């Protein structure tokens, strides 16, 4: 019980209710909701997923809720401007890979999957008015993001304003003892707690999980290109973890691994690089198995020593092809302008020799692009 309520947990509201329900020994009904507004899950998303699985492993009844309806509106949480609404087709496309990725964390044989369009798409105008009558405009405007946007004179759509109420209604329909979510979801989840009481459902407590920063110390977001994705290749995942700031290691160990916290304290007292390697090994093993982690570590050590890893991909290229064009085509660089900058700064090497011309053509051999990307080339 202590692990369920403490590890990777930011806050429990109200704390006494959480302890009381768990101490009762009764099977609790717990849920986590996720809006498929993107197509990839990262280790930040996995913190809440891992907590949901921990409740399932403890024998509780758990629900993984897909925001098939709310995703079309867009959660305003953490947004400093209006979110573009998604179409149903876009939501379905995003969710296509969600279950496959989430299955790296969740054992779906123990978990019920639900979709909130089951009930939200059937609400009438009268239903919406009844839900909204439980809140005041002043209460809704307490959200920091709403205050900031209004102070700047920026738009706030009615659908964003009503989003927390619709997410809250999910709790009513699922009638849960506990809702799990990231710490940024606290306002939305407390709306659900209030609505459950208003509709005569059970009293639920809210459990928020810690938010983890990306590899550069900022909020983990694809916007910042600092995410460690669940579907990253083992070597890519290992390398990203090794770039995590040392100050974040304790949080990563707590939230992203199963290493006992007493052991974590001992690990962090030792050499920082050894601790980082242990962290990378644990995370990669979780998503790719021990063999994948072992290969990734070898790859990383070879790259760190300045060489091209043995498992670097081998690609065929046509003789005479411009190197920059080839790198863009293989997605080893994002654009030709990035390629030009890298070459001018000596960031591209061929067989350990720096490529010094932006007009260089592809040659057979080994290329190192930046610090972490490698490719072996043979002519067609």
Whether 249 is in a domain gets the answer yes
Shared-domain flag, residues 147 and 252: no
What pLDDT is stored for residue 252 in this prediction?
Answer: 98
Shared-domain flag, residues 158 and 110: yes
**Alpha carbons 285 and 305: distance in angstroms, whole number:** 23
Q: Domains in the chain: how many in total?
A: 3
Strand 314-317 relative to strand 373-379: parallel, antiparallel, unpaired?
parallel
Whether 357 is in a domain gets the answer yes
Burial class (CB in 10 A: 0-12, 13-18, 19+), 194: middle
Residue where one domain finishes, among candidates 286, 304, 322: 304
What pLDDT is stored for residue 140 in this prediction?
Answer: 78
Shared-domain flag, residues 167 and 232: no
Shared-domain flag, residues 111 and 189: yes
Shared-domain flag, residues 238 and 366: no
Q: Tens digit of pLDDT for each residue in 223-261?
A: 888 999 999 999 999 999 999 999 999 999 999 999 999
**Alpha carbons 48 and 107: distance in angstroms, whole number:** 14
Whether 227 is in a domain gets the answer yes
Shared-domain flag, residues 41 and 171: yes
Four-point Cα dihedral 66, 71, 73, 78, nearest 10: 110
Whether 215 is in a domain gets the answer no
What pLDDT is stored for residue 43 in this prediction?
Answer: 97
Shared-domain flag, residues 99 and 75: yes
Query: Residue 306: which of 237, 342, 345, 353 has the closest Cα?
Result: 353
Whether 309 is in a domain gets the answer no
Shared-domain flag, residues 186 and 94: yes
Q: Which residues of the chain have pLDDT under 70?
A: 74-85, 145, 149, 307
User: Could you tell me which residues come within 8 angstroms of residue 87 by beta carbon, excluding any fewer than 6 positions away?
Assistant: 72
For the domain that residue 71 is a member of, what is the CATH number? 3.40.50.620
Q: Which spans in the chain are helix H?
A: 2-6, 15-23, 43-57, 88-95, 98-102, 117-120, 125-132, 137-140, 144-151, 158-174, 186-198, 234-242, 249-256, 261-269, 272-304, 323-329, 336-344
Shared-domain flag, residues 165 and 232: no
Whether 214 is in a domain gets the answer no
Domain of 280, in residue numbers: 222-304
**Alpha carbons 45 and 113: distance in angstroms, whole number:** 17
Take residue 142 and report the two structure tokens written for it: 């307490």
């Amino acid at each position: 019980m202590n692990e369920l309520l403490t590890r990777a947990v930011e806050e429990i509201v109200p704390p006494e209710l959480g302890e009381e329900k768990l101490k009762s020994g009764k099977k609790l009904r717990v849920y986590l909701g996720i809006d498929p507004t993107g197509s990839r899950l990262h280790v930040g998303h996995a913190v809440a997923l891992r907590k949901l699985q921990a409740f399932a492993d403890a024998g509780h009844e758990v629900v993984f809720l897909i925001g098939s309806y709310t995703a079309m509106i867009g959660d305003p949480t953490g947004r400093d401007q209006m979110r573009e609404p998604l179409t149903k087709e876009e939501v379905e496309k995003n969710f296509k890979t969600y279950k496959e990725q989430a299955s790296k964390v969740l054992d779906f044989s123990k978990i019920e999957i639900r979709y909130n369009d089951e009930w939200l798409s059937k609400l009438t105008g009268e239903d919406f008015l009844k839900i909204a009558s439980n809140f005041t405009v002043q209460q809704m405007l307490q959200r920091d993001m709403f205050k900031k946007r209004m102070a700047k004179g920026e738009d706030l759509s009615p659908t964003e304003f009503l989003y927390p109420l619709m997410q809250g209604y999910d709790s009513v329909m699922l009638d849960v003892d506990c809702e799990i979510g990231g710490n940024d979801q606290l306002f939305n989840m407390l709306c659900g707690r209030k609505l459950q009481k208003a509709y005569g459902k059970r009293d639920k407590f809210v459990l928020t999980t810690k938010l983890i920063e990306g590899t550069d110390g900022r909020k983990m977001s694809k916007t910042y290109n600092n995410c460690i994705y669940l579907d990253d290749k083992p070597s890519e995942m290992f390398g990203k973890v090794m770039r995590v700031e040392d100050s974040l290691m304790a949080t990563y160990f707590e939230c992203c691994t199963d290493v006992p916290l007493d052991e974590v304290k001992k690990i962090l007292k030792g050499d920082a690089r050894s601790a980082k390697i242990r962290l990378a090994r644990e995370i990669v093993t979780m998503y790719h198995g021990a063999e994948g982690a072992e290969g990734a570590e070898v790859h990383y050590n070879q790259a760190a020593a300045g060489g091209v890893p043995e498992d670097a991909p081998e690609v065929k290229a046509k003789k005479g092809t411009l190197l920059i064009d080839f790198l863009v085509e293989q997605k080893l660089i994002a654009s030709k302008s990035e390629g030009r900058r890298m070459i001018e700064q000596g960031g591209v090497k061929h067989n350990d020799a720096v490529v010094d011309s932006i007009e260089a053509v592809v040659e057979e051999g080994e290329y190192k692009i930046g610090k972490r990307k490698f490719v072996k080339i043979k002519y067609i």
